[in-house]
Structure 1
Amino acid sequence: MTAADPLAPAPAAPAPLTPAEAARLTRRITLMSVGVALVLVALKAGAWAMSGSVAVLASLADSAIDLVASLTTLFAVRYAATPPDAEHRFGHGKAEAFAALMQAGLVFASAALVGREAIGRLISPEPMAAGGWAMGVMAVSILLTSGLVYAQTQVLKKARSVAVTGDRAHYLSDLGSNLAALIGVAGAFLLGIVWLDAAAGLVVCLLLLWAAIGVLREAADQLMDHELPPQDRAEIVALVLKDPQVSDVHQLRTRASGPYVHIQMHLDLDPALTLEAAHGIILEAEQRLLARYPAADILIHADPRGRAGPHAGAFSGRHDAADRPLEGS
């Protein structure tokens, strides 16, 4: 085995996906999510019917909610990828955020139902039947869910999707709930610790609440037009300033909308440039941005350096607070 050459060039980063490629990838992973959810619901329903375990019931409720959420995600990512039309000039990307918002609400409801059942069983414990079958089902559920979460993680490294992110959050909580259910069933069936089953149900309830809060926060960010992360904003500025003819970038505004990002900014250019020359500089800046963000909608306004007057509009302040975090980047 030979040592790696420290002077060798680093491997090239994978090329960003086009909107069509990202849409294909998210559709494929959501179909996989629906398939896994169907299998898990069927397995857990059978295990609960045979064992009466509240931990398995909690995990079944979680998987049933995941099935509804995955179906919602499937339709949301398809609709979000449709191109802009006469009534939706900014596209349909926020359909993903609405789907994630609904997912969060469903998970909150599921957590409440599971918590109530678990507390009832803690007060009035009941013996468990067919615990071996229930344990086997939970073990299979852990394997299937782990595979799906891994696949979703790989997709999210390549394509932005708040709906898939929300779906992945559900299945991450599933991993915890399946493990808690397995421990609860094993303790109640093998060791005779009946209350451990209900305690595992309460743990699942808390995991569901935590996952719902995370999904709700991310969906709200998109619906409220939250700015892209600081590192993305800094990268956008750096890409535009690669052209020495651009002396400054200000009034940068960004937001995500499903698989798309929207970018607006003002550039300071030499006032002696012709309109055609300024237009060419802007087009080249757009191409640099699109190479990094293929699913971007970009709007750039040119200002004559040193001669630009104040702009009108509700958000027209040149040195507004939104620009200040970039000054040190």
Structure 2
Amino acid sequence: MIDKIERANQVKRSTARLSILSNSMLVIMKLVVGFGIGSVSIISEAIHSAIDLIAAVIAYFSVKKSAEPPDKEHTFGHGKFEDFSGLIEAGLIFVAAILIVREAALKLMGQGTELDSRLLIAGIAVMFVSAAANWYVSSRLMKAAKATESIALEADAWHLRTDVYTSLGIFAGLALISLTGWKFLDPLFAVAVAIFIMKAAYDLTRRAAADLMDTSLPEAEEERIKSIISEHYLQYASFHELRTRRSGSDRFMDLHLVVPKNLTVSEAHSLSDHLENDLREAFPRSSITIHFEPCDMNCDACECNSTCKDRIYRESHSE
């Protein structure tokens, strides 16, 4: 299990480094071409990529920190670093969107650098390269995020995926300008970029805030947890008060398990170990707490199954 977690941490770090390298190259390309031809939409994309670069750096350090084991000051681990990373990244996207809108507004009012139609082909080319590169890197990030359940990598992946769509939009816009000569389309496409990434920032803020507020795990995951526990129904009477939350890639769950009242401490401990192992097989980075309660043989109260009730009855009358 430890080797599996360490492999996941290595995947996180290597994929985050790839994102940093890719974004660094794209920022330089877009800034050079954007200022070279005076395109506010390409400059806005450069700003977007610069924010993506900062987000990638934050994601790298957050996944590195969250992988550290619990210590004296952080007894529940460091998973929240990933959630804070997602929240910071969302804030950075909002800032980028505001800067883009400002630049576009200045352009629409006749201020700023005039678009050089003669060099539009360079802008079209860099947008195509940007879209292709970000599609590849975002796919790698999303795959790693799903495999390691990292919100930091997922946030970075969504950043780059939005960059793919906005780059394609500006690619189409510049191509349209080259055909029609309508230069006012350049700042309009920049505003469209800003609106699109604001939506991405809003969704990311909700996701990160949910984990910081200790919101329960998704319904599908809770149903999976209940299903795993129910596979051992012959060994207990019932369970209740299941509580779950998430911290980065780490999950926390606790529940009350009702067992036959004559179950020994050793038997209860063995059952607990068995349940925890099965749950961690499905959810590797999990902290599980099980509180045992004795069954009072009152099915209306504890909803115990008939098999368990019969077992309690036989054992209590064999003494």
**Same structural fold, with TM-score higher than 0.5 when normalized by the shorter chain:** yes
Deviation at 1:288, TM superposition (A): 0.8
Provide the rounded CA distance (Å) in 1 between the counterparts of 2:82 and 2:262.
45
What does the per-residue CA deviation read over 1:182-226, in whole Å, with 9 as the maximum and x for residues that have no partner? 122222234201111111101100111011001101110110011
- How many residue pairs get aligned? The number is 295
Q: Deviations over 1:55-78 (max 9, x none)?
A: 101100100000001001000000
Calculate percent identity across the aligned residue pairs.
31
Question: Residue in 2 aligned with 1:42?
Answer: 28
Question: Does the CA-based 8 Å contact 2:108-2:184 persist in structure 1?
Answer: yes
Q: Please report how far the alpha carbon of residue 16 of structure 1 lies from its aligned counterpart in structure 2 after TM superposition.
A: 12
Is the counterpart of residue 295 in structure 1 residue 285 in structure 2?
A: yes
Name the larger-Rg structure. Answer: 2
Which of 254, 264, 280 matches 1:274?
264
Q: Is the 8 A contact 2:41 2:189 kept in 1?
A: yes
In 2, the alpha carbon distance for the partners of 1:17 and 1:220 equals 30
**How far does the alpha carbon of each residue in 1:215-243 deviate from its partner, in whole angstroms, 9 at most, with x for none?**
10111011001111111111111111211
Structure 2 vs 1, CA of residues 16 and 212 (structure 1 numbering), >3 Å: closer, same or farther? farther
Residues 49-128 of structure 1: pairs in structure 2 closer than 5 A: 49-124=35-110, 126-128=114-116
C-alpha contact (below 8 Å) 1:27/1:74 kept by paired residues: yes
Partner of 1:205: 194
The partner residue of 1:216 within 205, 216, 222 is 205
The amino acid of 1:271's aligned partner reads: K
Aligned residue among 186, 195, 199 for 2:175: 186
Greater fraction of residues in helix: 2
Aligned mates of 1:83, 1:17 — CA distance in 2:
14
1:173 maps to which residue? 162
Q: Distance in 2 between matches of 1:294 and 1:113?
A: 41
Partners of 1:46 and 1:190 lie apart in 2 by 23
From 253, 256, 259, the equivalent of 1:263 is: 253
Is 1:240 paired with 2:229?
yes
Q: In the TM superposition, what whole-angstrom CA distance separates every residue of 1:33-76 from its partner, at most 9, and x where no partner exists?
A: 11110111011011112111011011001000000010010000
Determine the C-alpha separation between the residues in 1 that align with 2:96 and 2:122.
24
Report the counterpart of residue 157 of structure 1 in structure 2: 146
Residue identity opposite 2:115 in structure 1:
P
Distance across 1 between alignment mates of 2:109 and 2:245: 49
> Does the 8 A contact of 1:236 with 1:289 survive in 2?
yes
Contact 1:128 1:188 in 2 (8 A): no
Any unmatched runs of 5+ in structure 1?
A: 1-14, 309-317, 319-329
Shift of the 275–16 alpha-carbon distance from structure 1 to 2, 3 Å rule, reads closer
| CA displacement at 1:307 relative to structure 2 | 7.8
CA contact (8 A) 1:16 1:291 kept: no
Aligned to 1:134: 123
Q: TM-score of the superposition, structure 2-length normalised?
A: 0.88
Q: For the residues of structure 1 that align with 2:89 and 2:13, how far apart are their CA atoms? A: 17
Q: 3-state SS of the aligned residue for 1:140? A: helix
Partner residue in 1 for 2:276: 286
* Structure 1 ranges of 4+ moved more than 4 A: none
Using the TM superposition, give the Cα deviation of residue 120 of structure 1 relative to its aligned residue in structure 2, in angstroms: 2.2
RMSD: 1.9
Q: Is the partner of 1:18 in helix, strand or coil?
A: helix
Instruction: Give the TM-score taking structure 1 as reference length.
Output: 0.86
Q: Please, which runs of 5 or more residues in structure 2 have no aligned partner?
A: 303-319
